[in-house]
């Protein structure tokens, strides 16, 4: 820490595009479309434009769970959005999500079609649309919503904070990694203590709260988040491990986590999903 050159902020911040790390080529301090590009539209009611990051996986797991429950109206086309190439700044995508973040959803079963952006909003929208994975009891619903919004407020510390400085930042800064590692471990402890007395986040019932939290925090336990399980001593969170593995065993979860998976398709990913048969060739 003593060798770190102290940064003195200027009176007025100015963007230096060379300081962006891995995403320097696409990130900028302005909103809106950067190029013209229409979005494809498939044959199913729900059109998902996404990537297999934790936020994207939430929605594909949700859709696969709904289909497993027999809700045929949850059939969807999943289109791959390359955030490294800046697909999220195309005019069509920005029209669905003005915040230019994946995932983005269009529901063509309504007239006019309904756009939904932000993964938590999608989970709630789909749960209400199909009457599934959402408690009807007011007290249980309040508990579920509390954990759903806990995830929305907490995960940026894991992803944008810890993940960025630990895995993506162009230089390793001890203070930043230390600060966010501490917070992530506190969050893991919150979950671990809660799951000591609850099978799922809302007691005995598997809900959209579990679907929201699992792709982020389950990934830490499974060492799929920034390869940081050892660094964060993830093995210490025994109740989290039980919950993580229990959810991982669900067939819909196994299918959902493959959709729009970034990287090499030969490694078990499904770049785009347009029918259930798309899973047939995946081992």
Asked if pLDDT for residue 1 goes beyond 50, the answer is no
Residue reference for tokens 């993580």: 244
Side-by-side strand order, sheet with 104-107: 76-80, 46-50, 104-107, 114-117
Question: pTM score, two decimals?
Answer: 0.94
**What is the dotted CATH code of the domain comprising 46-133+259-279?**
3.40.30.10
Return residue ranges of the chain for CATH 1.20.1050.10. Answer: 138-249
For strand 104-107 and strand 46-50, is the pairing parallel, antiparallel, or unpaired? antiparallel
pLDDT digits (tens, 9 = 90+) for 29-47: 999 999 999 999 999 999 9
- Note the CATH architecture for domain 138-249: Up-down Bundle (1.20)
- CB-based contact 269:278 (threshold 8 Å): no
pLDDT recorded at residue 3? 54
Return residue ranges of the chain for CATH 3.40.30.10. Answer: 46-133+259-279
pLDDT digits (tens, 9 = 90+) for 222-278: 999 999 999 999 999 999 999 999 999 999 999 999 999 987 554 567 999 999 999
pLDDT band of residue 6 (cuts 50, 70, 90) is: confident
Q: What is the mean pLDDT of the chain?
A: 94
Query: What is the phi/psi pair of residue 259, to 5°?
Result: -75, 135
Asked if pLDDT for residue 100 goes beyond 60, the answer is yes
pLDDT recorded at residue 63? 98
pLDDT digits (tens, 9 = 90+) for 154-205: 999 999 999 999 999 999 999 999 999 999 999 999 999 999 999 999 999 9
Asked if pLDDT for residue 138 goes beyond 60, the answer is yes
Q: Which of 95, 62, 99 is CA-nearest to residue 83?
A: 99
pLDDT recorded at residue 5? 73
Q: Which of 131, 134, 80 is CA-nearest to residue 103?
A: 80
pLDDT band of residue 221 (cuts 50, 70, 90) is: very high
For strand 76-80 and strand 104-107, is the pairing parallel, antiparallel, or unpaired? unpaired
């Amino acid at each position: 820490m003593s060798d770190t050159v102290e940064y003195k902020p200027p009176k007025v911040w100015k963007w230096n595009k060379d300081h962006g790390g891995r995403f320097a080529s696409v990130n900028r301090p302005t909103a809106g479309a950067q190029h013209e590009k229409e979005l494809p539209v498939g044959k199913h009611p729900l059109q998902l434009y996404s990537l297999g990051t934790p936020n994207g996986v939430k929605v594909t797991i949700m859709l696969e769970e709904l289909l497993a429950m027999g809700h045929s109206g949850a059939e969807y086309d999943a289109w791959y959005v390359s955030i490294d190439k800046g697909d999220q700044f195309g005019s069509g995508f920005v029209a669905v999500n003005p915040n230019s973040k994946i995932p983005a959803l269009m529901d063509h079963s309504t007239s006019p079609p309904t756009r939904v952006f932000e993964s938590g909003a999608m989970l709630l929208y789909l749960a209400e649309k199909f009457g599934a994975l959402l408690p009807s009891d007011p007290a249980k619903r309040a508990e579920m919503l509390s954990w759903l919004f806990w995830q929305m407020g907490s995960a940026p510390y894991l992803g944008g904070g810890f993940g960025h400085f630990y895995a993506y930042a162009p230089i390793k800064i001890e203070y930043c990694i230390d600060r966010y590692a501490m917070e992530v471990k506190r969050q893991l402890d919150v979950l671990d203590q809660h799951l000591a007395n609850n099978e799922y986040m809302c007691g005995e019932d598997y809900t959209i709260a579990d679907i929201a939290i699992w792709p982020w925090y389950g990934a830490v336990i499974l060492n799929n988040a920034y390869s940081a399980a050892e660094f964060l001593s993830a093995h210490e969170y025994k109740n989290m491990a039980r919950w993580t593995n229990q959810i991982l065993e669900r067939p819909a979860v196994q299918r959902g986590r493959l959709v729009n998976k970034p990287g090499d398709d030969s490694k078990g990913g499904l770049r785009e999903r347009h029918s259930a048969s798309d899973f047939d060739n995946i081992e």
